[in-house]
Amino acid sequence: MGIRLLGLPDPVLQHVLREEGRHVATLDFWWASEGVAGEADGTDKYFDEGMVAGRSSKEALLHEKDRENAVRRLPEVNGFARWGWDDALDLGRLAARLASAGLVVPRRHVPGEYDQRGRAS
């Protein structure tokens, strides 16, 4: 919802990136025309026993770092943004994360312009 409120184009959801036919990653968000990958993450993937697949939190974190590096190395990827719930609920922070990855955010966000649910205040 924040992506739309910021006036960004709709990304492709759950986009699969491949290199030489090999699966590299399935991205949460992909803006193909800009070559920007986006991942919306919580901390569960590093600490929840059901999500770490028998790995330690350290191993899960290192695996995710290796995955992100593999994505960044692909020639079609120009930028990578990662955000959590706190960022998603704050349009200014979300805009900054996405802009730092190379997306042009067409609407300037003024703190207080939107409430935490994205409604104009």
Chain segment 72-101, per-residue pLDDT in tens: 999 999 999 999 988 888 888 999 999 999
Q: Are 27 and 14 contacting, i.e. CB atoms less than 8 angstroms apart?
A: yes
Per-residue pLDDT tens for 7-45? 899 999 999 999 999 999 999 999 999 999 999 986 666
Q: pTM (2 decimals)?
A: 0.79
Q: What is the DSSP letter of 107?
A: S
Tokens at 28, concatenated: 């949460």
- In angstroms, the first-to-last Cα distance of the chain is 16
How do strand 79-83 and strand 22-31 relate by DSSP bridges?
unpaired
